[in-house]
Structure 1
């Protein structure tokens, strides 16, 4: 390639310099100029559910990438441009005389839609597009072709396919130099001069003021009105042109209309931290070799995790998945102990699961995110389903479902269910943007088939918003798995709301951290304070029903009802693309068969939570997070029984049918709330 190549390198899912196949492809063109660009896409800002923590992590990762670019080439940095990429990039190609656009393949449904438009625009502009796989171990497009267009619904299916695709490619080093992002007539002597010239080249650029081309223009999924965390005006598009230092800078949370004080900055972003964390983990050969994800503890916080906490860095491409794979392989070679763990529970298996979901999503497309139209997803008549208009378009905001389910959904999102294990996990998620995978199992099963019978789509939306490591393939995939809608069928395997957390930490450290109103309860009652005698509650300084909510439902009763429902739904064997689902008759058919209609009444009046600390409460504007959630005052209750004890399953949900955790022994665990007097139903 001659020096005539002028490359715009568009960073998207690959915020790193090390082991970037796409970046190497750009350098192989031996370009006369290379423009490292991030396009601040309004579709991501407005049309994707993104909470403060994920935006923060992204901004930190962009800042770190820009710094690393400058360290490699002193006259360059990450060039952040703002606008609809299908409109803005063609303008940059023209003004910067671009000959090649180089990208890492984005295999998500939105990425594919966007990139089809980009390819059309590039063809019109006579810009050659080079797209290279680098976000997964194996190319989802190629795997799907080899699977004859079908989704990969099991790990064994993926393993069989990739066995014929060769080994995972070895990682490559970060470049030692980068071409300058210079205009053809550039006279720049330093980075400041370069930015000035580039800024001047954008004079007259149309000012972008839209909210993305996807969905209704008026809809902002991240606004507090729709349950999001944006309560101020977005101003990041006000600097489409202007001073060079502002024009190409990384936006701030404030410019995204978000308040940093609402969250805890526990997990920091960036390639530098990702590589440091990986190196530290891989020094412990025994940990790497014997790692078994289902046996790590969900009772530890992100500050001291029992797992690697690498998923956020993989999500944004701050860490190469190939480097993770091979560094783990090298670490295992140093292990001199007994037998090592294997897939799917070891680290390599976890990376393969990520590929499995990506390949399944690639085969199904947009419908993978929802139930309707999703041929892989079993249809279950959940409460609070996604609503569609007569043309089959999603209705936003979602019309409210029954008041009880909406109230339960709101309490669940806020971490005020009255079950400390669930509440601690949900508060951790909202504050820090992370939750251990077994914690995710607990809260997902609770919301869906276990207790609440609420659509997994609603849980996926909450994770969409709060998780730093949210992935467009793994998130819906995991929710389908855990609700037994796809991938996993053993719906009778559940998590005790009291006993499961006790299995890992009898002291309830996670609860004491995220539900501090309960911190003075003895270990015996930390998972079920509603069973504590009144004098124990008084000594702990927390009266259940006053300072911390009563349980919002009866664990045993709802579990029993839901298992009956699941049996009927499985017998019906309907899936999202079946005609009964598409024409809207499936719900009534199933409810007639199993006989359950709407849940029992929800009582907000006895759930004040007076001692829930301010940091654990929803910020102003987010107090009621779902349409239809009542503001309080209804009489009646959730039929919580007094001091009834029963056996509760305490099963760890496996990740493959051939890989199941042993069923936990049944343990006695009360699931019903105490009466307001705190006295036991059974005399002592």
Structure 2
């Protein structure tokens, strides 16, 4: 926002971005009348909260502000999400091929326009054209004098965060913390009566954490952002990417490494800039397409794993959110989300209303969740990802896969609703549609191959045998040999002492047995798929589904984690902790077969891949986009249960789709745009 304001002022020194604070449903109609506004212009936002907010404001402005023209433009997505939903029979697009089929019938997205070279002087009511920005701000401030939160001097109000009031703020506010927020209207003590230039700039300026009484350092924020915001930075990054023609033309998201940090990423890291509107989706789409068209080399990639495919996933999840509304964010009443007997799910009262704050669930799962949030699970790959995410606001999409799968169907069996909340809290590029859309990693929707599990050692070892990300974000483990970096609890005590890190003391012992919990989760998934419950099922709404499923699979409740237990003498890495690759000096070599114990597990939990006829009537799982299993003689997909160590879901789609493109409808339908 600050970057936008500065850009406006550079174009016209008499103008800037005016930031006002308050309830939009009351403030916007008020300002329309006070400032003589003739046009209310805004970008369409289709998320649930925004739809309700904008609907209220539209109605209020029509009723209270006669003559004000409302201009609403679609710019956050390439296509009109409403049009996609209508052409798909008002149902979510459950696969990339379904989305492509629909958008192939829509007009091409319009190309972006260049930013204006000039801007007119602002016109103030009763003042005419503005010739001096500060004078204009003072005149605008006078119009706010009867708006309570602008007219009251907040220094006279009690400080709810003061130590004397039982709060956490120390006498020196810079060293204190703010834990009680009674307002986000503006800087402490700032009111419209103060007419100094500094006050005027603050009054209408972009709020800072300090102006809201928050101390970034006390909250654990880094001194300097790893991913800097703003349009200027977004355009700089885009320009650098467009110069890498081969990289963009051969871009394959599943083949990029999740083991690289945010300041040296294997991907483009443009998602935060799209989320905040720092760059136009149309600019990104067409600039990338133009570069790809000009590339004459080999190995061009295609949808969905190429860059265009990544952008289209945003559209797919937005259609799901618009189709389902608020239920898209939860399991209950969500007709595309399978019901599984997760621990720590949302809780509802007898009237079906969500209980907030969520009552505590079983203590073992609550403790697992706490350790996960702290980055203290005892699994270095998981802990490094959590710590990176908390400190930078970003991790690679395959890192997100690892965390989401581990927390849900992989090992912890905790509801994807809790994972969605955590990502909402931490992610810079959090999106109200794409974030819950990642429920597919729990195999609740969009994806059903629950037998594919990300290994906590095998998966990262595929990309980085030395564990550089772990060494950076779990520095207590930095001196462990490569052999043990992803499973340090298997290191002999002599190795631990040499690394100056005793497992169970300096770094936690694993909070659960990965192999054992994986087997339990597979049994739970199999039972859930066999029952076929969804968020709208009668048994779910009546609260009976959990007991039915737990009786069906017979798995015990989780045990309380003990991350401080002493490590027994170990002479070799146990089978369950061994990577799916043999780590040697020359690189990673795929093993020819899984361990015997793994084969045994496979025999007991043979994959339960859905038949088309068994699917929920209102959905069409996009497993055809993510198929990677071997075909048996009867045409039914089968694959042994094992760690995710060979390929990713988008890579699967590419390999499969090459065999399946037998009609124009299933070909890359957006190719006409290239």
1:66-94 Cα deviation digits (max 9, x unpaired): 11111122211111101010011011001
- Corresponding residue for 2:179? 231
SS of match in other structure, 2:19: strand
- The reply on whether 1:271 has 2:238 as its aligned counterpart is no
1:498-533 Cα deviation digits (max 9, x unpaired): 111110000100000000000000111111110111
SS of match in other structure, 1:103: strand
Instruction: Quote the RMSD (CA, aligned, Å).
Output: 2.8
Partner Cα separation in structure 2 for residue 107 and residue 65 of structure 1: 23
Partner Cα separation in structure 2 for residue 177 and residue 655 of structure 1: 48
User: How does 1:449-468 map onto structure 2 within 5 Å?
Assistant: 449-468=409-428
1:147, distance to aligned residue in structure 2 (A): 1.4
SS of match in other structure, 1:131: strand
1:390-413 Cα deviation digits (max 9, x unpaired): 232222211011000000000001
SS of match in other structure, 2:423: helix
User: How does 1:632-651 map onto structure 2 within 5 Å?
Assistant: 644-646=574-576
- The reply on whether 1:73 has 2:15 as its aligned counterpart is no
- The reply on whether 1:133 has 2:74 as its aligned counterpart is yes
Partner Cα separation in structure 2 for residue 512 and residue 522 of structure 1: 11
1:602, distance to aligned residue in structure 2 (A): 2.0
- The reply on whether 1:582 has 2:530 as its aligned counterpart is no
Partner Cα separation in structure 1 for residue 563 and residue 212 of structure 2: 34
- Corresponding residue for 2:468? 509
Worse-superposed segment, 641-650 or 528-537: 641-650
- Corresponding residue for 1:215? none
User: How does 1:252-267 map onto structure 2 within 5 Å?
Assistant: 252-261=208-217, 262-264=220-222, 265-267=225-227
How many residues are matched?
560
Partner Cα separation in structure 2 for residue 497 and residue 99 of structure 1: 58
- Corresponding residue for 1:196? 138
Q: Any stretches of 5+ residues in structure 2 without a counterpart?
A: 153-159, 161-166, 169-176, 194-198, 582-589, 591-620, 630-638, 646-674
Q: Which of 531, 548, 569 pairs up with 2:507?
A: 548
- Corresponding residue for 1:291? 251
Of structures 1 and 2, the larger Rg is shown by: 2
Conserved 8 A contact 2:508-2:563: no
SS of match in other structure, 2:40: strand
Partner Cα separation in structure 1 for residue 316 and residue 108 of structure 2: 16
1:660, distance to aligned residue in structure 2 (A): 5.1
SS of match in other structure, 1:646: helix
In structure 2, do the counterparts of structure 1 residues 209 and 523 end up closer, same or farther at CA, with 3 Å as the change threshold? farther
Worse-superposed segment, 345-354 or 570-579: 570-579
Conserved 8 A contact 1:72-1:177: yes
- Corresponding residue for 2:666? none
- Corresponding residue for 1:147? 88
Conserved 8 A contact 1:488-1:657: no
1:354-375 Cα deviation digits (max 9, x unpaired): 1100111011001111111111
1:189, distance to aligned residue in structure 2 (A): 1.8
1:104, distance to aligned residue in structure 2 (A): 0.7
Partner Cα separation in structure 2 for residue 362 and residue 190 of structure 1: 44
- Corresponding residue for 1:172? 113
Conserved 8 A contact 1:649-1:665: no
Conserved 8 A contact 1:344-1:656: no
When normalised by structure 2's length, the TM-score is: 0.79
Partner Cα separation in structure 2 for residue 534 and residue 273 of structure 1: 48
When normalised by structure 1's length, the TM-score is: 0.78
Conserved 8 A contact 1:235-1:257: no
User: How does 1:180-191 map onto structure 2 within 5 Å?
Assistant: 180-186=121-127, 188-191=130-133
Partner Cα separation in structure 2 for residue 68 and residue 668 of structure 1: 47
User: How does 1:253-652 map onto structure 2 within 5 Å?
Assistant: 253-261=209-217, 262-264=220-222, 265-478=225-438, 480-603=439-562, 605-606=564-565, 644-646=574-576
In structure 2, do the counterparts of structure 1 residues 308 and 245 end up closer, same or farther at CA, with 3 Å as the change threshold? same
Conserved 8 A contact 2:4-2:231: yes
- Corresponding residue for 1:673? none
- The reply on whether 1:96 has 2:35 as its aligned counterpart is yes
1:487, distance to aligned residue in structure 2 (A): 0.6
Partner Cα separation in structure 1 for residue 178 and residue 527 of structure 2: 41
In structure 2, do the counterparts of structure 1 residues 192 and 655 end up closer, same or farther at CA, with 3 Å as the change threshold? farther
In structure 2, do the counterparts of structure 1 residues 67 and 180 end up closer, same or farther at CA, with 3 Å as the change threshold? same
User: How does 1:664-675 map onto structure 2 within 5 Å?
Assistant: none
Worse-superposed segment, 142-151 or 377-386: 142-151
Conserved 8 A contact 1:491-1:566: yes
Partner Cα separation in structure 1 for residue 102 and residue 19 of structure 2: 39
Partner Cα separation in structure 2 for residue 208 and residue 78 of structure 1: 18
Partner Cα separation in structure 2 for residue 646 and residue 587 of structure 1: 29
SS of match in other structure, 1:129: strand
Partner Cα separation in structure 1 for residue 580 and residue 304 of structure 2: 22
- The reply on whether 1:250 has 2:191 as its aligned counterpart is no
Partner Cα separation in structure 1 for residue 134 and residue 628 of structure 2: 58
Worse-superposed segment, 89-98 or 259-268: 259-268
1:336-383 Cα deviation digits (max 9, x unpaired): 211300100001000000110011101100111111111111111100
Worse-superposed segment, 583-592 or 341-350: 583-592
Partner Cα separation in structure 2 for residue 164 and residue 531 of structure 1: 56
- Corresponding residue for 2:625? 658
Conserved 8 A contact 2:412-2:517: yes
Partner Cα separation in structure 2 for residue 402 and residue 641 of structure 1: 36
In structure 2, do the counterparts of structure 1 residues 606 and 164 end up closer, same or farther at CA, with 3 Å as the change threshold? same
Partner Cα separation in structure 2 for residue 431 and residue 664 of structure 1: 37
Conserved 8 A contact 2:97-2:625: no
1:573-625 Cα deviation digits (max 9, x unpaired): 11112222222111111111111242123225549xxxxxxxxxxxxxxxxxx
- Corresponding residue for 1:157? 98
Worse-superposed segment, 119-128 or 468-477: 119-128
1:388, distance to aligned residue in structure 2 (A): 1.4
- The reply on whether 1:109 has 2:48 as its aligned counterpart is yes
Conserved 8 A contact 1:291-1:347: yes
In structure 2, do the counterparts of structure 1 residues 81 and 174 end up closer, same or farther at CA, with 3 Å as the change threshold? same
In structure 2, do the counterparts of structure 1 residues 461 and 257 end up closer, same or farther at CA, with 3 Å as the change threshold? farther
Partner Cα separation in structure 1 for residue 16 and residue 542 of structure 2: 52
